[in-house]
Amino acid sequence: MNKYCNILFDLDGTIIDSASGIMNGVLYGVKKINETYNLNINIPSNETLKKFIGPPLDASFRKYCYDDEKLSLEFVKFYREDYNGNNGLFNCSLYDGIYDLIKKLSENNYKVFLATAKPKESALRIIEHFGMEKFFTGFYAPILGGKIKNKLDVLKEALEKENFEKDKTVMIGDRIDDIDAAKNVGIDSIAVRYGFGNDDEFKNAVYIVDNTKEIFDILSK
């Protein structure tokens, strides 16, 4: 019998390469903030833009652009204007092998869940866009205006509602938020190097992999 039966996947940087859509949305949001409030916030470099992928956007704006709560919420509103309104969310692609991996897990009686800090409405649109919704047992993500804000909140909600056996549950993600949230709630984690994180973020990961084949090898042991 396999060790894990409940498999939680992050979305950005784990299932999809969403860099272009997110980075363009961030640029749009910062420019709109500058125009609307007559500010001169520096346009983030490509390296900084990549850091917006994964964590909550308002927190990233305050950390990398301008530390003001009200403006950070306005930034998120402008970001969504581009990302959702202009269909920037579909400016993404599946990582090599991820469709087949999730399909195979589903067909082999694993329970596959989405656990993302991206708003649920956007996350579901992306999963449906790639025709993958049928492979998932459940979807956990923040709802706009709700109490769930970050990956730790998402995992707590998933564990509470699904009543998972923790030693049979694993989180797969590419950022420190995924890995540290998993450790915080008491489940194992698999860090993927092909996403947007780096090995410095994976100190608390139980496993580190380079590709989807290695994920399957761990899950099928």
**Interatomic CA distance for residues 86 and 5, integer angstroms:** 38
In one-letter notation, the amino acid at residue 108 is N
Parse the chain into domains and list their residue ranges: 6-17+92-219, 19-90
Summarised one tens digit per residue, pLDDT across range 92-104 is 999 999 999 999 9
Confidence band, pLDDT 50/70/90 cuts, at residue 1: low
Tell me the pLDDT tens digit for each residue of 119-132.
Answer: 999 999 999 999 99
Stated pTM of the model:
0.93
For 187, the token pair is: 């489940």
C-alpha dihedral, 14 to 176 to 64 to 46, nearest 10°: -40
pLDDT averaged over every residue in the chain: 96
pLDDT of residue 2: 87
Percent of the chain with pLDDT over 90: 94
Q: Rounded mean pLDDT of 208-213?
A: 98
**Class of the CATH domain delimited by 6-17+92-219:** alpha beta
Residue 119 is encoded by which pair of tokens? Answer: 């708003």
Point out which residues pair with 120 in neighbouring strands.
none
Distance CA 126, CA 10 (A): 13
Residue 22 token pair = 């997110």
| Of the options 1.10.150.240, 3.40.50.920, 3.40.50.300, 1.10.620.20, the CATH number for the domain spanning 19-90 | 1.10.150.240
For residues 69 and 214, what is the distance between their CA atoms, to the nearest angstrom? Answer: 41
Across residues 79-87, what is the average pLDDT?
92
pLDDT for 146-205, tens place per residue? 899 899 999 999 999 999 999 999 999 999 999 999 999 999 999 999 999 999 999 999
Q: What are the tens digits of pLDDT across the range 28-73?
A: 999 999 999 999 999 999 999 999 998 889 999 999 999 999 999 9
Strands 16-17 and 93-94: antiparallel
